[in-house]
C-alpha cells in the first residue's frame, strides 16, 4: 500500500482531470446498476399489469441512460489514458534524471541492460496500474457498492446470507496476492536479464562475429528467454488458480440466493421481479469480486515493477555536492594530492598515501604496471570517486567543497575508448561547449588535425557518424574527441591512454593534436607507451598504489629503478 500511495503522488499534478475521470467512471458504472431495476419493473409492473405507459417510459429511459453512458465511457477512457501517459512520462523522466545524477560506481556495479530495463520494462508495467487498473478498480468498486445497496433495499435478510462468502473471497485474494507479488518480481527480473543479454550482444556484435560465437549467443539468449517463460507461466498459474477459486465461492453465494430467495417468493415475502433483480445484482456482485481479484493481481504485478523503479529513485549518489558547496572560480591549474588513500573495496587500497604537487601548465605522465593505480588517480581529480583518506586541492581549494558541475567544467578528459554520440561530426565536437560558434568548432577541429578529413567526408561537418562513431576509423574518432576537448578549453587535462589503440600514422596525427591541446594546461598523461611521454615535465612511476619514483625521463633512466626496467622491456635496451 505504501508503494501504491507513493505511485499515486505522481497523479497530484493532474488531480482535476482525475476527479473528472472518476466522475465519468461513476456515472458509466451507474448505468449498469440501472439494468436490474428495469427487469424488476418490467416483470412486476409491465408484464403483470399490462401497463403500456410504463413500458414506453422504460424504453425511453434505457435509450437516454445508455446514450449518457457512452459519453461518460468516452470521458473515463480518454481522461484516464491522458493521466496514465503523463504520469508514465514523469516517472520515466524522473528515473532518467536520477540516473544522470548517480555516481560512476553505480554503473560499474550493474549491467547496462538491467539499468535500461528500469526505464523500459518496469515503467511500462507501472502504466497498467494507473490506467486500466484504475478504471476497473473504480468501476467495479462502484458496481459492488451499488449492487450491495440495491440488494439490501430489496431484501436485507437475503443480502446478509449472500455476504457470508465475502470473508472467504477476501482471504483467497490476500493469499494469492502475496504469491502474485513474488512471482511478478521474478518476471520483471527475468525481463531485465533478457534486455541485458540483448544489449550486450548488439553492442558487442563485432567481437561475436570475430570469434564466430553466433550460436553461443543464440543459446544464451534462448536460455534467458526460457527462464522468462518459466517465470511468466508461474505467474499465469497463480492467476489461473485465483479466478476459479473466486468463481466457486461466488457460485456458492448465488446458490444460496436462489434457494432462499425462491423460498421467499413461494411464501409471498418477495415478488418474482424483485428476486430476478436481486439475482442480477448478486451476479453484478460476484463479477466485480472476480474482476477485482484480477485487478488485485495486476496491481501486484505493477507494484513489483514500481518497487524496482523506486529502488533506483531511492539510491543516493555516492559522490554529490556538499550542502555548502560553492562554484569553483576560474583556476590556474595547481593540483595537489595530499596523502591520498583510496579503496574500491574495504581493506584493499588502490592508492596508498599518494603525495603529488603539480604546478600550472605542467605535463605530468603517470606510468606503471597494470593495477598500479594510474587510472584511479585520473578518476579522483574530477571526483568520480572521493579519497578514503587525504584530500585533493586545485589552486589550494579542496575539490570536495566546490560544486561538481563547476569542477568538471574546468577539467577535460580524453579517454582511451573514445565515446562519440550518434549524430553529426559537428554535434559531437559542439558537445564540448554547447554555446560555441561554428567558427570555434572549425578552429577546434583544425587544432585537433581533424579539419581536413572532415571536409573529405560526403557531408563534411554534417556527416552522420553512426552509433559510437562506428563510421569513423580509430584515429578519426580520437581526433574528434580531442577537438571536443579543445573546444571545452579546460584548465586541467586528463589523457588516459589516448593513443594506445592507434596505428603508427594515426598515432602521429593524434599525438600532434594532443601536444597542441596540452599547451598552457595542467596535463595528466596516463600511458603504457613510454615513447609518448619522454618530454613530460614530470614522470610519476606507480607500483601497488604507491609512488615509486618521480623525475624527468633522463633522471629516471639514470636512477636505474622501475622506470628504467619498464623502458628497457619496451625498447629492448
Which pLDDT score is estimated for 204? Answer: 67
* Assigned domain for 389 exists: yes
Runs of H (alpha helix) within 102-131? 104-108, 112-117, 123-130
Strand partners of residue 326:
402
Pair 296, 350 in one domain: no
Q: What is the pLDDT of residues 138-176, one digit of tens each?
A: 777 777 777 778 778 877 777 777 777 667 766 776 777
pTM of the model: 0.70
Pair 527, 458 in one domain: yes
Mean per-residue pLDDT, 319-346: 90
Rounded to 5°, the CA angle 102-105-108 comes to: 115
Q: In what order do the strands lie in the sheet with 538-543?
A: 411-414, 492-496, 522-526, 363-367, 538-543, 546-551
How far is CA 214 from each of CA 58, 121, 218, 225, 382, rounded to the nearest angstrom?
Answer: 69, 26, 6, 16, 40
Mean pLDDT of the chain: 81
Pair 51, 160 in one domain: yes
Pair 391, 497 in one domain: yes
Which pLDDT score is estimated for 188? Answer: 72
Pair 53, 159 in one domain: yes
**Which residues have C-beta within 8 Å of that of residue 547, sequence separation ≥ 6?**
354, 355, 356, 540, 541
Q: What is the pLDDT of residues 426-467, one digit of tens each?
A: 998 998 888 889 999 998 888 888 888 899 888 899 988 887
Pair 301, 377 in one domain: no
* Assigned domain for 323 exists: no
Rounded to 5°, the CA angle 202-208-214 comes to: 90
Which pLDDT score is estimated for 399? Answer: 92
Domain that holds residue 298: 13-185+239-313
Measured CA to CA, the distance from residue 473 to residue 17 in angstroms comes to 54
Q: What is the CATH number of the domain that holds 421?
A: 3.40.50.300
Measured CA to CA, the distance from residue 457 to residue 464 in angstroms comes to 10
In the predicted structure, residue 209 carries a pLDDT above the cut 70: no
Pair 339, 299 in one domain: no
- Dihedrals φ, ψ of 429, to 5°? -70, -40
**Which residues have C-beta within 8 Å of that of residue 366, sequence separation ≥ 6?**
374, 377, 378, 524, 525, 526, 527, 539, 540, 542
Which pLDDT score is estimated for 397? Answer: 93
* Assigned domain for 210 exists: no
Mean per-residue pLDDT, 212-216: 76
Pair 308, 390 in one domain: no
Sign of CA dihedral 377, 378, 379, 381: positive
In the predicted structure, residue 294 carries a pLDDT above the cut 80: no
In the predicted structure, residue 86 carries a pLDDT above the cut 60: yes
Mean per-residue pLDDT, 35-47: 71
Closest by Cα among 130, 435, 178, 429 to 306: 130
- Number of domains composing the chain: 2
In the predicted structure, residue 95 carries a pLDDT above the cut 60: yes
Pair 281, 426 in one domain: no
Q: What is the pLDDT of residues 177-205, one digit of tens each?
A: 677 767 777 877 787 778 777 777 776 66
Pair 258, 180 in one domain: yes
* Assigned domain for 203 exists: no
- Greatest mean pLDDT among 215-219, 298-302, 373-377: 373-377
Which pLDDT score is estimated for 58? Answer: 75
* Assigned domain for 248 exists: yes
* Assigned domain for 193 exists: no
Which pLDDT score is estimated for 203? Answer: 66
Q: What is the pLDDT of residues 499-539, one digit of tens each?
A: 655 556 666 777 777 777 788 889 898 877 676 677 888 99
Q: What is the CATH number of the domain that holds 270?
A: 1.20.1560.10
Which pLDDT score is estimated for 35? Answer: 72
Find the distance separating the first CA and the last CA of the chain, reported in whole Å: 72
Pair 427, 293 in one domain: no
* % of the chain at pLDDT higher than 70: 89
* Assigned domain for 192 exists: no
Which pLDDT score is estimated for 504? Answer: 61
Which pLDDT score is estimated for 337? Answer: 92
* Assigned domain for 4 exists: no
Which pLDDT score is estimated for 478? Answer: 83
Pair 391, 251 in one domain: no
Mean per-residue pLDDT, 399-405: 92
How far is CA 515 from each of CA 47, 413, 499, 562, rounded to the nearest angstrom?
Answer: 101, 14, 12, 26
Residue that has been written with the C-alpha cell 557531408 in this structure: 459
Rounded to the nearest 10°, the torsion over CA 353, 357, 358, 360 is 140
Which pLDDT score is estimated for 120? Answer: 77
Give 251's pLDDT tier (boundaries 50, 70, 90). Answer: confident
Amino acid at each position: 500500500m505504501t508503494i501504491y500511495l507513493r505511485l499515486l503522488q505522481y497523479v497530484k499534478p493532474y488531480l482535476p482531470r482525475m476527479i473528472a475521470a472518476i466522475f465519468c467512471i461513476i456515472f458509466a458504472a451507474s448505468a449498469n446498476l440501472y439494468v436490474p431495476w428495469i427487469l424488476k419493473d418490467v416483470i412486476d409492473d409491465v408484464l403483470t399489469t399490462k401497463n403500456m405507459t410504463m413500458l414506453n417510459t422504460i424504453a425511453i429511459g434505457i435509450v437516454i441512460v445508455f446514450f449518457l453512458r457512452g459519453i461518460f465511457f468516452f470521458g473515463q477512457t480518454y481522461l484516464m489514458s491522458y493521466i496514465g501517459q503523463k504520469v508514465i512520462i514523469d516517472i520515466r523522466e524522473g528515473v532518467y534524471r536520477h540516473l544522470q545524477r548517480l555516481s560512476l560506481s553505480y554503473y560499474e556495479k550493474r549491467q547496462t541492460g538491467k539499468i535500461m530495463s528500469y526505464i523500459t520494462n518496469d515503467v511500462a508495467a507501472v502504466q497498467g496500474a494507473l490506467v486500466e487498473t484504475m478504471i476497473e478498480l473504480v468501476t467495479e468498486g462502484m458496481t459492488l457498492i451499488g449492487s450491495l445497496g440495491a440488494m439490501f433495499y430489496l431484501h436485507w435478510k437475503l443480502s446478509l446470507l449472500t455476504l457470508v462468502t465475502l470473508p472467504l473471497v477476501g482471504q483467497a485474494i490476500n493469499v494469492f496476492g502475496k504469491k502474485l507479488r513474488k512471482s511478478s518480481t521474478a518476471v520483471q527480473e527475468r525481463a531485465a536479464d533478457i534486455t541485458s543479454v540483448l544489449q550486450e550482444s548488439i553492442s558487442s556484435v563485432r567481437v561475436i562475429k570475430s570469434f564466430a560465437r553466433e550460436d553461443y549467443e543464440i543459446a544464451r539468449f534462448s536460455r534467458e528467454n526460457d527462464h522468462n517463460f518459466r517465470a511468466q507461466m508461474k505467474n499465469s498459474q497463480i492467476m489461473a488458480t485465483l479466478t476459479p477459486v473466486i468463481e466457486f465461492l461466488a457460485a456458492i453465494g448465488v446458490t444460496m440466493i436462489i434457494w432462499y430467495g425462491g423460498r421467499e417468493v413461494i411464501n409471498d415475502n418477495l415478488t418474482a421481479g424483485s428476486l430476478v433483480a436481486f439475482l442480477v445484482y448478486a451476479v453484478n456482485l460476484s463479477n466485480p469480486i472476480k474482476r477485482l481479484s484480477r485487478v488485485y493481481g495486476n496491481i501486484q504485478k505493477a507494484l513489483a515493477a514500481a518497487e524496482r523503479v523506486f529502488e533506483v529513485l531511492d539510491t543516493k549518489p555516492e559522490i554529490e555536492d556538499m550542502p555548502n558547496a560553492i562554484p569553483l572560480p576560474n583556476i590556474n591549474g595547481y593540483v595537489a594530492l595530499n596523502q591520498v588513500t583510496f579503496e574500491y573495496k574495504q581493506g584493499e587500497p588502490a592508492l596508498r598515501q599518494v603525495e603529488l604537487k603539480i604546478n600550472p601548465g605542467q605535463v605530468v605522465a603517470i606510468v606503471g604496471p597494470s593495477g598500479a593505480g594510474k587510472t584511479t588517480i585520473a578518476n579522483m581529480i574530477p571526483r568520480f570517486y572521493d579519497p578514503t583518506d587525504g584530500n585533493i586541492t586545485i589552486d589550494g581549494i579542496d575539490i570536495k567543497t566546490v560544486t561538481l558541475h563547476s569542477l568538471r567544467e574546468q577539467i577535460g578528459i580524453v579517454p582511451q575508448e573514445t565515446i562519440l554520440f550518434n549524430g553529426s561530426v559537428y554535434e559531437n565536437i559542439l558537445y564540448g561547449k554547447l554555446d560555441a560558434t561554428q567558427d570555434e568548432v572549425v578552429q577546434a577541429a583544425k587544432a585537433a588535425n581533424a579539419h581536413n578529413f572532415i571536409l573529405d567526408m560526403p557531408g563534411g561537418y554534417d556527416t552522420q557518424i553512426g552509433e559510437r562513431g562506428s563510421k569513423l576509423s580509430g584515429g578519426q574518432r580520437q581526433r574528434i574527441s580531442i577537438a571536443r576537448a579543445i573546444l571545452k578549453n579546460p584548465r586541467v587535462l586528463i589523457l588516459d591512454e589516448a593513443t594506445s589503440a592507434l596505428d603508427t600514422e594515426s598515432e602521429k596525427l593524434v599525438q600532434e593534436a594532443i601536444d597542441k591541446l596540452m599547451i598552457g594546461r595542467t596535463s595528466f598523461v596516463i600511458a603504457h607507451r613510454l615513447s609518448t611521454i619522454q618530454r613530460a615535465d614530470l614522470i610519476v612511476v606507480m607500483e601497488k598504489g604507491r609512488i615509486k619514483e618521480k623525475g624527468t625521463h633522463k633522471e629516471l633512466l639514470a636512477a636505474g629503478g622501475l622506470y628504467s626496467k619498464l623502458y628497457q622491456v619496451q625498447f629492448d635496451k
